[in-house]
A and B are shown apart, each in its own frame.
Chain A
Amino acid sequence: MNLAFIGLGIMGRPMALHLLHGGHAMRVHARRAASMQPLVDAGAIACASPAEAARGADVVFVMVSDTPDVEQVVLGPAGAIEGAAPGSVLVDMSTISPVVTRAIAQRLGQQGIDMLDAPVSGGEKGALEAALSIMVGGKSETFERVRPLFECMGKNIVRIGDHGAGQVAKACNQIVGAVTLEAVAEGMTLARKNGVDPAKVRDALLAGYAWSRVLEMHGARMVSRDFTPGFKARLHRKDLRIVVDTAAQLDIALPQSALIAQHLNALVGMGCGEEDSAAVVKVLEKMSGAQA
C-alpha cells in the first residue's frame, strides 16, 4: 500500500519504521528535516508539507503532540486535506480532544476522506517493540481495511465505537491511570510521614485489592526515587488537560481528574516536566514537608 506518515518524534519514528518494514511504500513529513533522515535511510520519501506527503497515499498516518498540531497538519495551509484523494483514509494516532476529533472527521468526510482516531498507549517502549495498545474510533469497515497496518505497530487493537470514541477511551485510560497515580503517591507519602517504610507498604499492597499496574511500576519508581522517564510529566499533564477541557465542554464534574491536573501543573512548575510523572509524589511531599 502507499502510505504517508506525518510526525516523526519518539513515537512516530519507530511506528513509521515498523510500517515500512511491513513492505509498504511511504512518504513522510516532519517539521525538522533531521527527524525524517532515519526514514529516508530506510527507503521513505521526504516531503516538504503534509499535503505533499498525502498525495497519492491510500492511508495517511498522523502522530503529533497536541490538538492544535493535528488541526494544523490536517486542515491548515498545505495540510493533509489538500493532498489526500477522495477514498483515502486519514488515521490520527495522536492523543487529542475527542470533540475536535469529531469536527475534523466531519471536515474530511465532506471531501470523501475517511478518518479513524487511533490513539495509542504503551509509550516509547511499546512503539519500539510494536506492542502498542491502539484504541480506535470510526467506521467499522474502515477499521477493518486499516487493521493489518495497525497490526504492524501494536498488539491490543480494539475498535471502541464511532468517530472520537478512540480518543474517549484514551481519555478514560488517562483518568484511571492518573488518579491511580495520585492514590499511590498519597499512600507512599502517608507511610513516609508516619515513619513507615514505603517499600514494605508497597509489597503488602501488591498482594491485595489495591493491586494495580501503576502501584507496581510507578510505585517502584517512588520507592527507589528513580524518576527517569518513562512517561514524561509534561506529556501526562497535556493528556490530563485534554480530559479537563473536554469535561468543561461537556459540563461534567471530574473532581479527581481536576486535582491531579493541578498537581502535574505544580510538578512541571517545580522544573520536573522532563521527569517521569511518578515524580508527582514530590509535589505531595513538598506540601507536607516530607521530602525523602
Chain B
Amino acid sequence: MKLGFIGLGAMGRPMALNLMKGGHEMAVWARRAQSAQPLLDAGARAFATPAEVARNSDVVFTMVTAGQDVEAVVLGQDGIVHGARAGSVVIDCSTIPTATIRRVGMALREKQIELLDAPVSGGEPGAVAGTLSIMVGGDETVFERVRALLACIGKTLVYIGPMGAGQVAKAANQLALVVSIQGIAEAMVFARANGVDFEPIWKALMQGLAGSKMLEIVGQRMMQREFVMGIDASLHHKDAHIVLQTAKESCTATPGAALAAQAFNALFSEPGTRWDSAAILKVLEAASGFPEREGR
C-alpha cells in the first residue's frame, strides 16, 4: 500500500520504519528535514508539504505532539486535507484532546476522507519493538481495512468505539497512570517520614493488591532516585492537562487527576530541566520538608 507519515520524532520515526518493514511504500514530511533522513535512507520519499504526502498516499499517519499540531498538519495551509483523495484514510496516532480530534474528523468527513484516532501507549521502547498498545476510535469497517497496517506497529489493537473514543481511552489510561504515580510517591514519603526503608515494602507491595506496572517501573526509579532518564515527565504533564480539558468538556469530576496535574505543574517550576515522572517524588518530599527535616 502507499503510505504517508507525518511527524518523525522519537515515536514517529520507529513507527514509520516498522511500516516500511511491512513492505509498504512510504512518503514522509517532517518539520525538520534531518528527522526524515533515517527514513530516506530506508527508501522513503520526502515531500515538501503534508498535502503533497497525502496526494501520494492511500493512508496517511500523523504522529505529532499537541492538538494544535494535528490541526495544522491536517487542516492548515498545505495540510493533508488539501491533498488527500476521497476514500483515503488519515490515522492520527498523537495523544490530543477528544474535542480536537472530533473537530478534525468532521472537517475531513466533508471531503469523504476517513479518520481514525489511534493513540498509542508503550513509549519509545514499544515503538521501536513494534509492540505498542493502540486504542482506536472511528468507523469500525475502516479499522478493519487498516488493521494489518496497525499490526506492523503494535501488538494490542483494541477498537474502542466511534470517533474520539480512542482518545478517551488514552486519556483514561494517562489518568490512571499519573494518579497512581502520585500514590506511589506518597507511599514512599510516608515510609521515609516513619524511618522505614522502602525496598522491603516495595517487595511486599508488588505481591499484593497494590501491585502495578507503575509500581514496578516508577517505584524502582524512585528508590534509585533516578529522576532524569525514562518517561519524559513533560509528556505526562501535557497528558494530565488533556485529561482535565476532556473532563471539563464532558463535565466530569476527576479530582485525583486535578491533584496530580498540580504536582506536575510544580515539578516544572524549575525551567529547562528534563525530568522522569518519578521526580514527582521530589515534589511531595519538598512539600513535607525533606531532606532538610532529617537534619533537624
Question: Which A residues form the contact surface with B (CB < 8 A)?
Answer: 98, 121-122, 133, 135, 156, 158-161, 164-165, 168-169, 171-180, 182-184, 186-191, 193-197, 200-201, 203-205, 207-215, 217, 243, 246-247, 250-257, 259-260, 263, 284, 287-290
Known: A98-B194, A252-B193. A212 touches B182 (CB 8 A): no
Smallest Cβ distance from A115 to chain B, in angstroms?
16
- Are B172 and A208 in contact, CB atoms less than 8 angstroms apart? no
Q: Which residues of B contact A133 (CB under 8 A)?
A: 204, 207-208
Closest 10 pairs between A and B when the two form their complex, measured CB to CB: A179-B183, A212-B212, A183-B179, A187-B172, A207-B156, A176-B210, A172-B187, A287-B253, A253-B287, A208-B121
Binds A, one of B44-52, B75-83, B103-111, B213-221: B213-221
Known: A196-B168, A204-B160. A121 touches B209 (CB 8 A): yes
CB nearest neighbor in A for B126:
A208
Q: Which residues of A contact B188 (CB under 8 A)?
A: 172
* A168 partner, pick from B190, B215, B252, B289, beta carbons under 8 A: B190
- Are B176 and A205 in contact, CB atoms less than 8 angstroms apart? yes
Q: What is the bound-complex CA distance between A246 and B198, given in angstroms?
A: 17
- Are B186 and A196 in contact, CB atoms less than 8 angstroms apart? no
Instruction: Using A182-B179, A200-B161 as known contacts, list a sample of 19 further A-B pairs with CB atoms less than 8 Å apart, ordered by residue number in A.
Output: A159-B200, A169-B196, A172-B187, A176-B205, A179-B183, A180-B176, A186-B179, A191-B169, A194-B250, A210-B121, A210-B173, A243-B190, A250-B193, A254-B186, A254-B189, A255-B259, A257-B183, A284-B252, A289-B251
- Are B186 and A257 in contact, CB atoms less than 8 angstroms apart? yes
Known: A169-B201, A196-B165, A210-B213. A256 touches B179 (CB 8 A): yes
Q: Which residues of A contact B247 (CB under 8 A)?
A: 190
Q: What is the bound-complex CA distance between A186 and B160, given in angstroms?
A: 18
Smallest Cβ distance from A49 to chain B, in angstroms?
33
- Are A204 and B250 in contact, CB atoms less than 8 angstroms apart? no
Smallest Cβ distance from A160 to chain B, in angstroms?
5
- Are B177 and A175 in contact, CB atoms less than 8 angstroms apart? no
Known: A193-B252, A197-B161. A187 touches B173 (CB 8 A): yes
Q: What is the bound-complex CA distance between A182 and B196, given in angstroms?
A: 26
- 6 residue pairs of the A-B complex, CB under 8 angstroms, read A182-B255, A183-B256, A190-B252, A204-B169, A257-B186, A284-B252
Q: What is the bound-complex CA distance between A42 and B137, given in angstroms?
A: 60
Q: What is the bound-complex CA distance between A122 and B209, given in angstroms?
A: 8
Smallest Cβ distance from B192 to chain A, in angstroms?
9
Q: Which residues of A contact B156 (CB under 8 A)?
A: 204, 207-208
Residues facing A in B223-262 (CB within 8 A) are 243, 246-247, 250-257, 259-260
B43 at the interface (CB under 8 A from A): no
- Are A172 and B190 in contact, CB atoms less than 8 angstroms apart? yes
- Are B175 and A190 in contact, CB atoms less than 8 angstroms apart? yes
Known: A193-B250, A290-B252. A168 touches B183 (CB 8 A): no
Question: Which B residues form the contact surface with A (CB < 8 A)?
Answer: 98, 121-123, 133, 135, 155-156, 158-161, 164-165, 168-169, 171-173, 175-177, 179-180, 182-184, 186-191, 193-194, 196-198, 200-201, 203-205, 207-215, 217, 243, 246-247, 250-257, 259-260, 263, 284, 287-289
Q: What is the bound-complex CA distance between A168 and B202, given in angstroms?
A: 12
Q: Which residues of A contact B190 (CB under 8 A)?
A: 168, 171-172, 175, 243, 246-247, 252, 254
* B176 partner, pick from A121, A184, A252, beta carbons under 8 A: A184
Q: What is the bound-complex CA distance between A224 and B193, given in angstroms?
A: 39
Q: What is the bound-complex CA distance between A225 and B140, given in angstroms?
A: 27
CB nearest neighbor in A for B177:
A210
Known: A168-B190, A175-B186, A252-B190. A213 touches B211 (CB 8 A): yes
Known: A159-B200, A176-B205. A191 touches B121 (CB 8 A): no
* B169 partner, pick from A173, A179, A196, A247, beta carbons under 8 A: A196
* B252 partner, pick from A156, A189, A215, A260, beta carbons under 8 A: A189
- Are B164 and A194 in contact, CB atoms less than 8 angstroms apart? yes
* B255 partner, pick from A207, A251, A259, beta carbons under 8 A: A259
- Are A205 and B173 in contact, CB atoms less than 8 angstroms apart? yes
Q: Which residues of B contact A255 (CB under 8 A)?
A: 182, 186, 259, 263, 287
* A208 partner, pick from B122, B161, B256, B287, beta carbons under 8 A: B122
CB nearest neighbor in A for B172:
A187
Q: Which residues of B contact A263 (CB under 8 A)?
A: 255
Q: What is the bound-complex CA distance between A195 and B197, given in angstroms?
A: 44
Known: A133-B204, A183-B179. A190 touches B168 (CB 8 A): yes
* B210 partner, pick from A177, A210, A254, A289, beta carbons under 8 A: A177
CB nearest neighbor in B for A134:
B204
CB nearest neighbor in A for B179:
A183
